[in-house]
């Protein structure tokens, strides 16, 4: 009997994220589609206080709009000294229309004089799969690190140049795309989602 191929829509306009999902779900009976391929959709409102709340509401929002299974993620940086900031506000830490440079400057200004041993933090990602009625699965991933006092590396984006992974001795912005995917919070969450989907299909 032929396997039924289900469609999963990835709630992002980022082609790199879509490619990651396609690789992770390769071999499973799912066709991965991006929102861009389906039309022009409004932005989902992200007003949750946790990454899980935002990823679930975003997945359900686009599942209702498209009528298909939908995957959405929310991720950001949590700094221990700053009691978890910037957290869910990572992308808009320095203001609603702030860019990476503005956000990095604000982070560094909030950590002036803080010694290296107190500059610990992590990138966290929560991934949610939903249909139009509810969230079906969630997975998460984290990568632990230390916030440097000045940027290093020209790859990556966001806070990557300030985020040192101690056991590797380099920042996320100094790693190749493949290296970063292997250890990243999003890569972990995606691989775990693929495992859970594989179990569901058995």
Question: One digit per residue, pLDDT tens: the chain, 202 residues?
Answer: 345 778 999 998 777 788 888 888 888 888 999 988 888 888 898 889 999 999 999 999 999 999 999 999 999 999 999 999 999 999 999 998 889 999 999 999 999 999 999 999 999 999 999 999 999 999 999 999 999 999 999 988 899 999 999 999 999 999 998 888 889 999 899 999 999 988 876 6
CATH code of the domain containing 92: 3.90.950.10
77 in any annotated domain: yes
How far is Cα 193 from Cα 197, in angstroms, rounded to an integer?
A: 6
- Residue of 28, 2, 5, 55 whose CA lies nearest to 198: 28
Strands 69-79, 6-10: pairing is parallel
Q: Known binder of ligand: residue 12?
A: yes
184 in any annotated domain: yes
168 in any annotated domain: yes
57 in any annotated domain: yes
69 in any annotated domain: yes
1 in any annotated domain: no
Contact 8, 69 (CB under 8 A): yes
Q: Known binder of ligand: residue 182?
A: no
Q: Is the pTM of this model over 0.75?
A: yes
The number of folded domains in the chain is: 1
Number of H helices, E strands in the chain: 6, 7
Q: Known binder of ligand: residue 14?
A: yes
Sign of CA dihedral 56, 59, 63, 68: negative
Residues spanned by the domain of 129: 6-201
68 in any annotated domain: yes
How far is Cα 92 from Cα 83, in angstroms, rounded to an integer?
A: 17
126 in any annotated domain: yes
Residues carrying an active site annotation: 74
What is the 3 state secondary structure string of 123-148? EEEEEEEECCCCEEEEEEEEEEEEEC
Q: Known binder of ligand: residue 155?
A: no
Q: Known binder of ligand: residue 87?
A: no
């Amino acid at each position: 009997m032929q396997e039924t191929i289900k469609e999963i829509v990835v709630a992002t306009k980022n082609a790199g994220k879509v490619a990651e999902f396609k690789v992770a779900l390769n071999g499973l009976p799912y066709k991965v589609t991006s929102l861009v391929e389906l039309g022009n959709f409004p932005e989902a409102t992200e007003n949750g206080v946790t990454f899980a709340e935002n990823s679930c509401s975003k997945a359900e929002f686009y599942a209702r709009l498209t009528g298909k299974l939908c995957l959405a993620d929310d991720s950001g940086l949590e700094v221990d000294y700053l009691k978890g900031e910037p957290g869910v506000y990572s992308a808009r830490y320095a203001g609603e229309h702030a860019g990476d440079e503005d956000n990095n400057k604000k982070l560094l200004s909030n950590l002036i004089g803080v010694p290296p041993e107190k500059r610990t933090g992590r990138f966290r990602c929560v991934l949610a799969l939903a249909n139009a009625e509810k969230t079906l699965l969630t997975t998460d991933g984290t990568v632990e690190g230390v916030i440097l006092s000045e940027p290093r590396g020209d790859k990556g984006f966001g806070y990557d140049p300030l985020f040192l992974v101690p056991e590797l001795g380099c920042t996320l912005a100094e790693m190749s795309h493949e290296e970063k995917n292997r250890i990243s919070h999003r890569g972990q969450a995606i691989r775990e989602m693929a495992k859970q989907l594989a179990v569901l299909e058995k």
